[in-house]
Structure 1
């Protein structure tokens, strides 16, 4: 290393210094490319795909019902998954994004990348994430290259914070492609909330907490987290009520509720609208975890506690009226004890550790509420 470099007077190119961080050399991959929207592949996480043929989390806003920000964020593909079985020793993806990576506190691998898991339901094991030039709007990369042509079950997770115009799966031309293991139920777990639900700021898609739980519960998960805009609007509640065959509705939007007044208005109304369409579907209202600021600002702590009490009161009122399928989950301690402050990127958005702890805390409740579907 030169004296100038040692003094820090030149740009450090880590890829030139660490072989493990180099990007693959581009060139013909020699693979057969498949569309994941055609059998035997299973596409999940997009409730309106069959009608609109778009990787989009809400219907196209032709009627103008959606708030503008929600309409825009619906193009982010958080929660989308592609599942299949193959004996191909190599697997690649070819992806065209809506835009390039542009977030300051979330890596491009989480915002714009795909990641891959191998294994049957309950036995998923992470293997790889897209490696590409984050300045690019499209990329083609090998996710894994293994020595044996063994039949494997593969799950690919879509990017969390970017739109996907197209994606193709590259496999060896002589390999087989078979359907994945069927879900335990045809019903869906529907989650509505904020940037935290959407997956900000996971390092890779599989670490968003709904994706973690989906590896433990073999059902389709619909992630309707809208960054900064999970505000419980009645129009949004009405559209979410249109999703067919729900097994569980999770309301995790307290962090975007803006004020105590707004939350106390929107939460009971959201539930009322949903109940008109789905009288018996379990509803789980989740309160938010402790933010780092609460350790130093008593006002921030009291604000969260007041929000939490609103949720407790609304759920309690519905129970008193005879709704026995509505439940409250206290998220205060989802990050654990003394080291909870280490679980975020910026005081509010979880790291992968934070998301794992959220999933660990929530999974038993999800399993209990979904027990009939999982029998």
Structure 2
């Protein structure tokens, strides 16, 4: 038996955990803002030209926290087709990783899937030191494999801003646009840190990104960590997003029962005034791990859940046939306490179960 005198540095013991991954391939660098790339998840990109989820100069005022969180790139995706044997991502982030309960690969990383819709498979994630803000890393290298055209999907970081992105391809590689969506209308999720993706291990495991691999549409992630409060200003801004296929409202966890009861009907009213027929899905809060020990916490969730269900029932009875309710109790399955990192924010298992829970009702609402 030897004495234990210091910390363990796995990067010195396991080559698979080391950061360095250089390529000797001559690369051509491309901006995903240019054709033939498809860049989604940023509704105001065409007017503002930045990776941001809300407008730079909004028509309605934003609280400072929401304005800051809008710079997080959750839900952003780059898609293209190429026969390049190497795909390298180079990016500059607005800041370093700094969360205690979320891996830097989820907060600040990009991850990559290969395959056409219905066949997408995860292949790689960027690696960088948590203190760094610049990254250049090969998402995949296919040495010795014959060239063929592949569809590539790259997910943006969930909890950090992105200043610049470039995609490096082989100098001889072909580059094409991805297959068009089966429907160009967008699915919009508005909510909390859970909607934003906290605390997925990498971006592709956020439940909205999982759902995007099941429904061939653009998904827009408007989760604002700790700040999904249903204020009317957000309802007005979200109503400006063109071609909506569905709006999901999942913000009960960030407001008190009284605030939820006050804001939800008005949020729906504002959105309905612009989009009278767009499906709306009202989602109640998922259970928290401490509820068996905290009766008041559980009671608040139940009151909010029952109010949301009753509101949807009332609106349906009044003639709105395009509004539905999703019970958050059912999203994490029979053992929800095993589905979180800290008792509230889902881990990858939790996000997979949430996506599974949303899939049937989205199929009903999107494909009637």
TM category, shorter:
over 0.9
Q: Does 1:226 align with 2:224?
A: yes
Q: How many residues align?
A: 366
Structure 1, residues 83-106: CA drift from partner, whole Å, max 9, x if none? 000000111100100001111100
Q: Partner residue of 1:97?
A: 93
Alignment of 1:58-137 (within 5 A): 58-61=54-57, 65-137=61-133
Structure 1 counterpart SS, 2:282: strand
Structure 1 counterpart SS, 2:234: helix
- Report if aligned partners of 1:183, 1:219 keep a CA contact under 8 Å in 2: yes
Q: Partner residue of 1:278?
A: 275
- Report if aligned partners of 2:58, 2:237 keep a CA contact under 8 Å in 1: no
Please state how far the C-alpha of 1:221 moved relative to its aligned partner.
0.4
Q: Does 1:332 align with 2:337?
A: no
Q: Partner residue of 2:14?
A: 18
C-alpha distance in structure 2 between counterparts of 1:247 and 1:62, whole Å: 22
Q: TM-score, normalised by structure 1?
A: 0.95
Q: Does 1:152 align with 2:150?
A: yes
C-alpha distance in structure 2 between counterparts of 1:159 and 1:124, whole Å: 19
Please state how far the C-alpha of 1:77 moved relative to its aligned partner.
0.1
Please state how far the C-alpha of 1:333 moved relative to its aligned partner.
2.1
Q: Partner residue of 1:362?
A: 358
Please state how far the C-alpha of 1:61 moved relative to its aligned partner.
3.8
Spell out structure 1 runs of 4+ moving beyond 6 A.
none
C-alpha distance in structure 2 between counterparts of 1:7 and 1:48, whole Å: 58
Structure 1, residues 101-129: CA drift from partner, whole Å, max 9, x if none? 11110011000000000111111111111
Q: Which consecutive residues of structure 1, in runs of 5 or more, have no partner in the other structure?
A: none
Please state how far the C-alpha of 1:340 moved relative to its aligned partner.
2.2
C-alpha distance in structure 2 between counterparts of 1:180 and 1:348, whole Å: 37
C-alpha distance in structure 2 between counterparts of 1:179 and 1:150, whole Å: 15
C-alpha distance in structure 2 between counterparts of 1:248 and 1:64, whole Å: 22
Q: Which consecutive residues of structure 2, in runs of 5 or more, have no partner in the other structure?
A: none
Could you tell me which of 137, 141, 146 is aligned with 2:137? Answer: 141
C-alpha distance in structure 1 between counterparts of 2:83 and 2:269, whole Å: 48
- Report if aligned partners of 1:61, 1:71 keep a CA contact under 8 Å in 2: no
- Report if aligned partners of 2:60, 2:237 keep a CA contact under 8 Å in 1: no
RMSD: 1.3
C-alpha distance in structure 2 between counterparts of 1:121 and 1:162, whole Å: 27
Alignment of 1:290-305 (within 5 A): 290-305=287-302
Q: Partner residue of 1:317?
A: 314
C-alpha distance in structure 2 between counterparts of 1:156 and 1:102, whole Å: 22
Q: Partner residue of 1:307?
A: 304
